[in-house]
Structure 1
Amino acid sequence: MASLEPPAAAPAGAGAAASVSSLDARTRRGRVFAWALWDWGSAAFNAVATTFVFTVYVTGSSFGDKTANSAALSWALAIAGIVVLLIAPVTGQRSDASAHRKRWLAINTGVVVLTLALMFFVHPSPAYLWFGLALLAIGTVFFELASVNYNAMLAQISTPRTVGKVSGFGWGMGYIGGIVLLLILYFGFIEPDVGLFGVTGEDGLAVRVSMLIAAVWMALSALPVLFAVPENRPLDPEAPRVGFFASYGVLFRSIRDLWTHSRQTVYFLFASAIFRDGLTGVFTFGGVLAAGTFGFTPGQVIIFAIAANVVAGVATIASGALDDRFGPKPLILTSLVGLVISGLAVFVFHGGGQTIFWIFGLILCLFVGPAQSASRTYLARLIPPGREGQVFGLYATTGRAAVFLAPTAFGLFVTIGGAQVWGILGIVLVLLVGLALLIPVRAAGAPR
């Protein structure tokens, strides 16, 4: 952490000034660490609720037909995505104007924690299917809204010289937090016949208790940022307050102004929406390919997932220095090229079996996290001061608008090729389109 914001050198004979500078540097490092702990805790929702544990549980045969359950899950998350699409920019814009960014981070995070805790009451029965899916959908909406406020804080706790390291550290903490929490839940409750505190799998108790643990994990991890990071300042203290629906008029005028005065930001939002969906597809379909094409057992998939998160987390933290040294665009471009080459290698050499997937799958993971983190810092460098919440709200919205691309391309290529492994080419295509759209976008402000 010491490297995130080194203290300024003090002139000779200025001992008191040096002490103040050292104190300020420690305060800044403390704020960065507190901010990154929210990313660490977010694994409770990202990894446990929506990826590896609760969605697998609620779409299982205990809740009815698996195919119908999976379709119901996709509809629930699609509705959640539409809600985010419609309200994220407005809520972000309002937090900029009202200087209540931290307050809304607390409220939105609190709702996510509540939905995680309520998942304990989702018993393995068809009668509870839609209750569980509703909790997932509500949690998804408020998690995305919380992420808007959280990402907007990046400008408050970093400088142009350190934004890459800070963003990479936070994103890496998210990967590592996911590893730690999954290991605790899997080996403490889910895997053993009798887990900690005598918990068993009867009546879905192992999973249901895991969701309570996840709720506590996220709540405790979210507290430090609420105490350590100060509230943002209002964009215009003299501006009159407007109602929620009137905020859409303000938003559209702001977008028009953004197009006029910061067009590169709009171009980047569009390009990043494409390649970020490809990045999501790498992890979303990685487990599917591991099991369906390369013959991994469920246990082997989890082991690979843990290894993948370790590689992604370490690479993301390490890439922060490269971001600050060379700028985020070269890092994103390099990462996307690396992803395309690695993805093609998995497809071309898939006859080599699990060894090929381990080698090139982990190489893929080397590039996913750095591309995600650098995308956040690229935008942070482009945003006009005081409009972080609004623009990161648009970032969430554009990401949701493109969320269908990777699944559609994956399915299309599977249909064309007649085998699951052809889906890799669909993900590669999405990444290539995003790469092509990013190339002409002018680089964000150079580090200084």
Structure 2
Amino acid sequence: MSEIPVASDASADHRKIITKPVMAWAAWDWGSAAINAVMTTFVFTVYLTSDLFGNKDANSVVLGNALAIAGLAIALLAPITGLRSDAGGRRRFWLGVNTVIVAGLTAACFFVFPEPRFLILGVSLIALASVFSEFATVNYNAMLPQISTPATIGKVSGFGWGMGYLGGILALAIVLFTLVTPLFDWAGASETNALNLRLVAVFSALWFLGFGLPVLFAVPEIPGPSSGARFSILQSYAELWRRVVALARTDRHTVFFLLASAVFRDGLAAVFTFGGIIAAGTFGFPLQQVIIFAIAGNVVAALGAMLGGLLDDKIGPKRVIIGSLIGLLIAGMGVFLSPDASGFWLFGLMLCLFVGPAQSSSRAFLARLAPQGQEGELFGLYATTGRAVSFLAPALFAAAIALAAPHVAEAQRYGILGILVVLLLGLLLLIPVRGPRVGAHRNPSQNNA
């Protein structure tokens, strides 16, 4: 069932959207993009898996195992971190603590020298940073209803996603042109002991910390419980289980959305994860062109996220997500059928255009469903369900290639079909989910039963 538009307050419709709290909140996304784009995607993990640390394949296995363990830790711990921050009235506090921890772990990567004995240190720091980054993101996402109104929540979510994309582009460009492939000579660009690559970690930490702190001063802390109740770790798990069971009984559509979004978000992540691999392996892009495409793709995704946010508040997040997933399926088939690089540029950028709105509206969808005071808990579940199926797109990508390899010369192209299967499955799971009313937040007494 689709959303039911309702009239929103006229004053809210004309209220300024980009307020100081919204700018401070979006600045955190801008800053965290240095961790995602620079440290874990394009630069530092590439450094860790290079032959500087020994066999490249073995290094990749070590990194993959470390990140898998980190993912398990997130799946087990993210929901109770959100629950405890909600119950304790300490959402902003824990956002700040986790932000500082991530920055510290990232800066410590400076001490990962290019020798095999430092590999374990490097992957451990990256894995730990990913865990605490996810904890911070749970509290960050839970702030969305605090800094938006029922009439602007989609626009604000889209603005945050767009700022994240743009921040990653700028951070990546600075790193590339000052440290990795410097445009001018300076001491920090020295390749001796991989100084330039180790300074990437220091830059990323300072970038994240500098842009991540304003939200701690601009957005107020949530009120603590009137009863003064606190949960121990074991009590938190028991309380979480009780609430999940109650949610499944009284609010089935929220549970259905968590499951559907977990699947299609895995497909969305795969678009970026494997986009560069397909560009290089299937369409013959050199590394420089892959990076140029990545920057262009992030610009397009940022514009898509912001435009999707405008539509979100008018027609509702479910319609935006469905439209985006259909667009992704069409663009993905275009990439699969493209005979040359020009086709990849066209349909690849179309993929990026639809990824942003789907990600932004997914967050706005859940924020509209979350009862007041339980946002952190629900976004913790959002993180956990996403991690629970994070193997799906990579597995189908690999399986599609393996099935095609005996029969065709360019089997990697068929991995695209594996990603499209995940997106299609997510779309089919989402269609029967009842969407939230446009222009209204949920309250504790509402349900979708």
Question: What TM-score, normalized by structure 1, do the two folds share?
Answer: 0.93
Q: Does the 8 Å CA contact 1:28/1:157 hold for their aligned counterparts?
A: no
Q: Does the 8 Å CA contact 2:304/2:354 hold for their aligned counterparts?
A: yes
Q: Does the 8 Å CA contact 2:331/2:348 hold for their aligned counterparts?
A: yes
CA deviation map 1:213-241 (0-9, x unaligned): 1110000101110000000123x421522
Give the whole-Å Cα distance in 1 for the aligned partners of 2:169 and 2:438: 34
Q: Please, which of 151, 161, 167 is the counterpart of residue 171 of structure 1? A: 161
Runs of 4+ off more than 3 Å? 5-9, 25-28, 193-198
Establish whether residue 272 from structure 1 lines up as the match of residue 261 from structure 2: yes
- Residue 350 of structure 2 corresponds to 363
Give the whole-Å Cα distance in 2 for the aligned partners of 1:164 and 1:387: 19
Give the whole-Å Cα distance in 2 for the aligned partners of 1:210 and 1:378: 35
Matches within 5 A, 1:60-99: 60-99=50-89
- Residue 13 of structure 1 corresponds to none
Judging changes above 3 Å, is the alpha-carbon distance between structure 1 residues 435 and 392 closer, same or farther for their aligned structure 2 residues?
same
Give the deviation of 1:398 after TM superposition: 0.3
Q: Please, which of 262, 265, 280 is the counterpart of residue 251 of structure 2? A: 262
Q: Work out the number of aligned pairs and report it.
A: 427
Judging changes above 3 Å, is the alpha-carbon distance between structure 1 residues 119 and 277 closer, same or farther for their aligned structure 2 residues?
same
Q: Does the 8 Å CA contact 1:193/1:201 hold for their aligned counterparts?
A: no
- Residue 219 of structure 1 corresponds to 209
Q: Does the 8 Å CA contact 2:188/2:196 hold for their aligned counterparts?
A: no
Give the whole-Å Cα distance in 2 for the aligned partners of 1:286 and 1:247: 39
**Unaligned stretches of 5+ in structure 1?**
10-21
Q: Please, which of 353, 360, 374 is the counterpart of residue 373 of structure 1? A: 360
- Residue 285 of structure 1 corresponds to 274
Q: Please, which of 415, 428, 433 is the counterpart of residue 425 of structure 2? A: 433
Q: Secondary structure at the match of 2:135?
A: helix
Give the whole-Å Cα distance in 1 for the aligned partners of 2:10 and 2:211: 27
Judging changes above 3 Å, is the alpha-carbon distance between structure 1 residues 124 and 243 closer, same or farther for their aligned structure 2 residues?
same
- Residue 97 of structure 2 corresponds to 107
Give the whole-Å Cα distance in 2 for the aligned partners of 1:362 and 1:395: 27
Give the whole-Å Cα distance in 1 for the aligned partners of 2:327 and 2:372: 33
Matches within 5 A, 1:166-245: 166-192=156-182, 195-234=185-224, 236-238=225-227, 240-245=229-234
Which amino acid counterpart does residue 366 of structure 1 have in structure 2?
L
- Residue 439 of structure 2 corresponds to 447
- Residue 383 of structure 1 corresponds to 370
Which amino acid counterpart does residue 321 of structure 1 have in structure 2?
L
CA deviation map 1:300-350 (0-9, x unaligned): 10000000000001111122110000000000000000001110111122x
Give the whole-Å Cα distance in 1 for the aligned partners of 2:82 and 2:186: 41
Q: Secondary structure at the match of 1:443?
A: coil
Give the whole-Å Cα distance in 2 for the aligned partners of 1:335 and 1:60: 36
Q: Does the 8 Å CA contact 2:157/2:364 hold for their aligned counterparts?
A: yes
- Residue 413 of structure 1 corresponds to 400
Give the whole-Å Cα distance in 1 for the aligned partners of 2:186 and 2:312: 42
Give the deviation of 1:111 after TM superposition: 0.7
Q: Does the 8 Å CA contact 2:304/2:356 hold for their aligned counterparts?
A: yes
Q: Does the 8 Å CA contact 2:99/2:212 hold for their aligned counterparts?
A: yes
Judging changes above 3 Å, is the alpha-carbon distance between structure 1 residues 239 and 250 closer, same or farther for their aligned structure 2 residues?
farther
Give the deviation of 1:194 after TM superposition: 5.7
- Residue 445 of structure 2 corresponds to none
- Residue 115 of structure 2 corresponds to 125
CA deviation map 1:385-405 (0-9, x unaligned): 210000000000000001000
Q: Percent identity?
A: 54
Give the deviation of 1:190 after TM superposition: 0.6
Q: Does the 8 Å CA contact 2:17/2:152 hold for their aligned counterparts?
A: no
Judging changes above 3 Å, is the alpha-carbon distance between structure 1 residues 195 and 425 closer, same or farther for their aligned structure 2 residues?
farther
Give the deviation of 1:261 after TM superposition: 2.2
**Alignment root-mean-square deviation, CA:** 1.7
Q: Does the 8 Å CA contact 1:189/1:195 hold for their aligned counterparts?
A: no
Give the whole-Å Cα distance in 2 for the aligned partners of 1:389 and 1:251: 12
CA deviation map 1:405-431 (0-9, x unaligned): 010000000001111000000000000
CA deviation map 1:40-84 (0-9, x unaligned): 001111001110011000000000101111111110000000000
- Residue 14 of structure 1 corresponds to none
Q: Does the 8 Å CA contact 2:86/2:373 hold for their aligned counterparts?
A: yes
Q: Does the 8 Å CA contact 2:88/2:229 hold for their aligned counterparts?
A: no
Q: Secondary structure at the match of 1:245?
A: helix
Q: Does the 8 Å CA contact 1:76/1:137 hold for their aligned counterparts?
A: yes
Establish whether residue 395 from structure 1 lines up as the match of residue 382 from structure 2: yes
Give the deviation of 1:197 after TM superposition: 4.3
Give the whole-Å Cα distance in 2 for the aligned partners of 1:206 and 1:53: 11
- Residue 312 of structure 2 corresponds to 323
Establish whether residue 253 from structure 1 lines up as the match of residue 245 from structure 2: no
Give the whole-Å Cα distance in 1 for the aligned partners of 2:421 and 2:344: 19
Q: Secondary structure at the match of 2:432?
A: coil
Establish whether residue 40 from structure 1 lines up as the match of residue 30 from structure 2: yes
Which amino acid counterpart does residue 425 of structure 2 have in structure 1?
V
Judging changes above 3 Å, is the alpha-carbon distance between structure 1 residues 70 and 318 closer, same or farther for their aligned structure 2 residues?
same
Give the whole-Å Cα distance in 2 for the aligned partners of 1:312 and 1:443: 24
Give the whole-Å Cα distance in 2 for the aligned partners of 1:110 and 1:286: 31
Q: Please, which of 117, 139, 149 is the counterpart of residue 159 of structure 1? A: 149
Which amino acid counterpart does residue 93 of structure 1 have in structure 2?
L
| Greater displacement, 238-247 / 104-113 | 238-247
Q: Please, which of 291, 297, 306 is the counterpart of residue 308 of structure 1? A: 297
Give the deviation of 1:193 after TM superposition: 7.9
Which amino acid counterpart does residue 420 of structure 2 have in structure 1?
V
